[in-house]
Amino acid sequence: MTERLRLMAVHAHPDDESSKGAASMARYAAEGVEVLVVTCTGGERGDVLNPRLQHKPELLRDMVEYRRREMAEAARILGVRQTWLGFVDSGLPEGDPLPPLPAGCFALEPLHVPTEALVRVVREFRPHVMTTYDPSGGYPHPDHIRCHEVSLAAFHAAADPARFPSEGPAWRTSKLYYHATFSRHRILAFHEALLQRGGESPFAEWIKRMEEWDPGARAELEITTRVECADFFETRDRALIAHATQIDPDGFFFKVPLDLQREIWPTEDYSLAFSHVESALPEDDLFAGLRSLAAS
């Protein structure tokens, strides 16, 4: 293998790519890796979460176009390519009991439909590494859980010439990783560091919600790979702020000073789910086991 290394990150909505793995992607792109973000839905059912923009009803009338513009700007900041898988946001159901999901949404699509769409992209882009969410979705949004299911199915199906033969020649992606950056250990480390500095922590409510979502699931996700990317934390934050309808620039994402982040947790973390190449764990590189092949 002598071609340029390629990384594909599969996400549920626009803005997810800037909050999960963004600094890693920016680092790899700066190093010459070809990076493609695949966004499964258009984020059509997202609310305007930025208080500075909530008085603008025109945003809700054309949310799809606004989110596309935001995604394009975030991709530019990160230095990556981006493509849409073309499915409709399921929304986050709320209430007790939870309401049914809307007809035609991503989470209700038969699994083979978005799997075939992603297989097509995999075979066109031919990534060496894919990243996505673990089985919990990271949090219980139906689109995040479905994104995991589709990514896992496509990772395997794209390598099988008998599956979806009309979508191009088979391609076996070498490694599949799950995002593990939002671990309890990391959140607690920031929470305690902020309190020790005599400041306030925005993470108390987050820690409580994590327990309510899926007690113990995050503690069980083994971190196998820590990618040093502190030099790109500022780039990550600029990409996240580009999603202006979704991100409050005064919100909790930005409450931990960058110098403290670089000191306490200078990595983005992953869990290696599947690999067709040998690499010694723990790793410090998503392309561990592949770079020597690329150089040969």
Q: Which residues are annotated as a binding site for Zn(2+)?
A: 13, 16, 144
Rounded CA-CA distance 13/106 in Å is: 11
Query: Which residue matches tokens 């799950």?
Result: 178
Residue stretches of the annotated binding site: 13, 16, 144
End-to-end CA distance of the chain: 7
Q: Which residues pair with 35 in a beta bridge?
A: 7
Q: How many CB atoms lie within 10 A of CB 260?
A: 15
**Residue 162: both structure tokens together:** 């008998």
- What stretch of H or E contains 10? strand 6-11
Torsion, CA 275, CA 278, CA 282, CA 288, rounded to 10:
-90
